[in-house]
Amino acid sequence: MSKIIASAAIRGAHKIFHKAEEKYCEALERFGPRQEVGFPNTAYYLPIIYAVTGIGVSRVEDMRSVLDICKKMIPSPVRENTPLPYLAPSLDAGMATFFAEEMIEAIRYLEEPNVYAANSEDPTEATVWLGAANDVIFRKRGVEFVDGTAPGFAAIVGAAPDSQTAARIALELQEKNLYVFMCADNGGKRFSQQLIEAGIQIGWPTRLVSFGPDIYQAVFAIGFACRVAMAFGGIKPGDYRRNLIYNKDRTYAFVLALGDVTDEWYANAAGAINWGFPTIADTPIPEVLPTGICTYEHVVSNIPHEQIVQKAVEVRGLRVQVASVPIPVSYGPAFEGERVRGEDIYLEMGGGRTVAVEWTTTKRMEEVEDGKVEVIGPDVGDVQPGMRLHFAMVAEVAGRNFQDDFEPILERQNHHLINQAQGIMHIGQRDIAWIRISKQAVEKGFRLEHIGRIIHAKYHQDFGAIFDKVQIKIYTVEEQVRGVLEKARASYDHRDARIEGMTDESIETFYSCVLCQSFAPNHVCVISPERTGLCGAYNWLDCRAAYEINPEGPNQPIQKGECIDERYGQFNGCNDYVRKASRQKIESVSLYSLMVDPMTTCGCCECIAAILPMCNGIMTVDRDFNDMTPCGMKFTTLAGSVGGGAQTPGFLGHSKYNITQKKFLKGDGGLLRIAWMPRRLKEEIMDRLRKRGEELGIPDFPEMIADETVAKTEEEVIGHITQKGHPCLTMEPLM
């Protein structure tokens, strides 16, 4: 701190604290002490207060004790001459500021229920302000922090001098894969509104998150970080030190203060330093350069707008690998969520109206000229805006290390790779691909060739170790497209048969996945052919390829060793590996059980299975299901109790695909134990579920599984499964 900053931060903390007290008294008067308060659909209460103090504020009256804590934490103003040390008191004051702001915001949700677009990822017609992320949004986005797709976030406070500058800063942050969390105003202007003025799509999908109009909504950004630590880092509420240091070491966030820094801004900036999040300002405020609480500098100021993003990243100590793709539009994960709609569409391919197919196949070395992209048929320039074309893209790959098994792995990347181009929307894969190219992209010079350029560049960047050359052919004439479709379909069938035929017994090597250890340091996934990764993103072949690509990377071969328990799927090689890789936190792990030594989860599992003791069965719920489940916990609460690398018998994180794999819960009775799952999940996996039921001799098994339309409580599940004669009722007792 400098004395000026500390003095201002402490003044700001006093002001915000008084506001919170006022709001609390009003709420007490208007709503009464027992009135429920909180942010929408979250199991983390007011997350900063919860993470730091362990206090779950759920009623107005709960705020009293937190206000008392704040009062003790905010020191007297800094004396002008011979002041007492002020760094520590101003950090404490900053923390109290966040507590106070969370309470102000919780009361605002009571007073003005429509001020934020609750449960929406995008601004609505009624409001541009998104407010606190609910747990579904938080988990979906949190996973990107965990797997490294998003290295952190920029909390932008205030506004740029004009909307063009705002747009430039936002684009630069997006290109660095960072989330942009926006709040507060500068002279009546707000960064979010500047982006809208510049015609930029804001909302969670484009990582440009308009939290709110005032400084108080800075707590939504910090609360997000607190939740990441609790959900994925396994850090308990109240364990403030670990939460803060976890975020300092792992969440690369920083504050960009744009405009005149008020006392309230200083108070928030001081608070953020507790998490190791520094402030970079565009105005000439005092700097705090000595290091220690943040990784590097604490406050850096007077940075020109064209340098501010680069400076911020450097001050935070972040290395961003930016993809270099030779296309005329911006490129990166931040553009994945951007939509191309109606008026904006220049060209559309697939989506049911025309054929669109993507196929990656192996060729001999001499057949491939690396980097060659051919467009055969009409291109963007040959059609009028709003038209459709057929589309077939064949990526021909060659290389000494390339194997047929890698084809689907590369091919599956096409969706992400193409979708990450600004102004290009990509949905689906294989023969159900769907591509839209926007007018804005075409205006910047985007042509079909560039889709090939993306594939060439990104295949090399991400998978360079497993192939040598790739060329791309894009067809847009129907006849040729249908020719490709036929060959591709034959290839898909061949691949599916091969993966279906693989069993855990048929191979000696499993793979680990410790990708998430950047956020969940004790969690280890063991991935076998019949147990795909719990996040749904990695199967055994993916891991094998990933290992070939990067032998030092997060996927390592595990010699499975001797099978020491066939029923539960325990292997001594696996156990030895997990013990070491979990930093001695986990002794042994079952691949096929939720009751005995279940595998841990980082928190980014697609589904969580939980025991239903009275049913003698098991339920599972996917992370998109937001309501209460029969086990008495919502997904988010379940994830809160089993995430972060803790082994919790009776609970298991798994992928959607895993449900219909043969070894799923084999030790506990297999798929036939499943008594409940959300309807949408059931429908999503229906074909495979039915097929698996047939294999098990119960063709109508999907109908025996209860869902929320027939059962919301465990009693109702019993009712349903008894009526249907569900097999779990007659199985050996689970407990």
Buried b (16+ CB within 10 A) or exposed e, 247-286: bbebbbbbbbbbbebbbbbbbbbbbbbbbbbbbbbbeebe
The whole-angstrom separation of Cα 165 and Cα 307 is: 12
Backbone angles phi, psi at 700, to 5 degrees: -95, 25
Query: Minimum CB separation from another protein for residue 538, in Å?
Result: 15
Query: Minimum CB separation from another protein for residue 423, in Å?
Result: 27
Query: Minimum CB separation from another protein for residue 7, in Å?
Result: 10
In which element (H, E) is residue 13 found?
helix 3-31
Pairing of strands 557-559, 607-612: unpaired
Three-state secondary structure call for residue 606: coil
Cβ proximity to another protein: between 144 and 597 the closer is 144
Cβ proximity to another protein: between 6 and 734 the closer is 6
Query: Minimum CB separation from another protein for residue 82, in Å?
Result: 5
Order of strands across the sheet with 356-362?
356-362, 391-398, 469-475, 373-376
Buried b (16+ CB within 10 A) or exposed e, 598-633: bbbbbbbbbbbbbbbeebbbbbbbbbebeeebbbeb
The whole-angstrom separation of Cα 585 and Cα 603 is: 17
- Residue among 249, 259, 172, 165 nearest 207 (CA): 172
- Residue among 263, 256, 298, 255 nearest 165 (CA): 256
Cβ proximity to another protein: between 142 and 669 the closer is 142
Query: Minimum CB separation from another protein for residue 190, in Å?
Result: 30
Give the contacts of 445 (CB within 8 A, at least 6 positions apart): 328
Tokens 């090597």 -> residue:
509
Backbone angles phi, psi at 406, to 5 degrees: -85, -15
Query: Minimum CB separation from another protein for residue 90, in Å?
Result: 8
Query: Minimum CB separation from another protein for residue 319, in Å?
Result: 4
Residue 75, token pair as written in the block:
């020191």
The whole-angstrom separation of Cα 299 and Cα 316 is: 11
* Amino acid at residue number 362: T
Cβ proximity to another protein: between 294 and 574 the closer is 294
Contact positions vs another protein (CB under 8 A): 1-3, 6, 52, 73, 78-79, 81-92, 95, 148, 151, 240-241, 244-245, 249-250, 252, 274, 288-293, 295-296, 298, 313-314, 317-321, 514-515, 517-519, 521, 553-554, 583
Cβ proximity to another protein: between 89 and 670 the closer is 89
Cβ proximity to another protein: between 48 and 609 the closer is 48
Query: Minimum CB separation from another protein for residue 293, in Å?
Result: 6
Cβ proximity to another protein: between 200 and 514 the closer is 514
Cβ proximity to another protein: between 150 and 347 the closer is 150
Query: Minimum CB separation from another protein for residue 295, in Å?
Result: 8
Cβ proximity to another protein: between 556 and 637 the closer is 556
The whole-angstrom separation of Cα 535 and Cα 526 is: 12
